[in-house]
Amino acid sequence: MARFSRIEVALKMKEQGMVPLFYNGDADLGKDVLAACYEGGARLLEFTHRGDFAHEVFTELSKYCNAELPEMIIGVGSVTSAADASYYMNVGANFIVTPVLREDIAMVCNRRKVLWSPGCGSLTEICRAEELGCEIVKLFPGSTYGPGFVKSVRAPQPWTSIMPTGGVSPTRENLTGWFSAGVTCVGMGSKLLSSDLVQNKKFSEITSLVKETLALIESVRR
């Protein structure tokens, strides 16, 4: 079961301003990445459901967080079915992120009061997601829409919370564009946790980059 409520998760997403995205089929390597992010100040991370036996890897990571990283809020992304969402919640997922708007996933998450963030690409989809109880909408792929889309949506709907994923990088220029447009937080995958850093086990560099990125986000928000 989730250890954190959807309200706690939504508040942490807003506070941290960034959701690191990560996948690797090696659970031990995943634990090291989690620890490196944690040491860098991250208290929330999305494990993406992409490879074979990803369920088993996540289960190990969830247990590791419970035992060793008690403040880490770990969730799962790239979920495309209610069955997968239910499984991951059973083994400790604190939030569910989807690439598309799926009402069946909304229902199973809402029953357990687990935050879900659907990928949306139009104002109609965003409004429907909010009608279904979505707290933070995922804008995907962010690179296709850009900060201008966020600004246009929030003009008539200032209550809408948006998290772009894709097209986000840990640079001042990029992050200033997104946060100036009004995003609540950003999802960041390979631009933050690159295959080079992960596969070559450059954990101290991961820690430094996470710490620097969080500081940069705090700076551009001022």
> Is residue 59 assigned to a domain?
yes
Q: What is the mean pLDDT of residues 192-214?
A: 97
> Is residue 73 assigned to a domain?
yes
pLDDT of residue 180: 97
Q: How many domains does the chain have?
A: 1
**DSSP letter assigned to residue 40:** T
In this prediction the pTM is 0.96
> Is residue 128 assigned to a domain?
yes
> Is residue 76 assigned to a domain?
yes
Q: Which domain holds residue 191?
A: 6-217
Per-residue pLDDT for 1 more than 90?
Answer: no
> Is residue 203 assigned to a domain?
yes
The order of strands in the sheet holding 44-48 is 162-164, 137-139, 115-120, 95-98, 73-77, 44-48, 18-22, 186-188
- pLDDT tens digits along 161-199: 999 999 999 999 999 999 999 999 999 999 999 999 999
CATH number at residue 172: 3.20.20.70
Q: What is the mean pLDDT of residues 13-38?
A: 97
pLDDT of residue 51: 86
> Is residue 222 assigned to a domain?
no
Please report, to the nearest 10 degrees, the dihedral formed by the alpha carbons of residues 167, 168, 171, 177 taken in order: 90
> Is residue 53 assigned to a domain?
yes
Q: Note the maximum CA span of the chain.
A: 46
What is the DSSP pairing of strand 162-164 with strand 186-188?
A: unpaired
Percent pLDDT > 70 in the chain is 100
Q: Are 221 and 179 within 8 A, CB to CB? A: yes
- pLDDT tens digits along 85-103: 999 999 999 999 999 999 9
Structure tokens at 118: 């659907």
- pLDDT tens digits along 64-75: 999 999 999 999
> Is residue 1 assigned to a domain?
no
Per-residue pLDDT for 206 more than 90?
Answer: yes
Q: What is the mean pLDDT of residues 202-222?
A: 97
Mean pLDDT of the chain: 97
Q: What is the mean pLDDT of residues 118-143?
A: 96
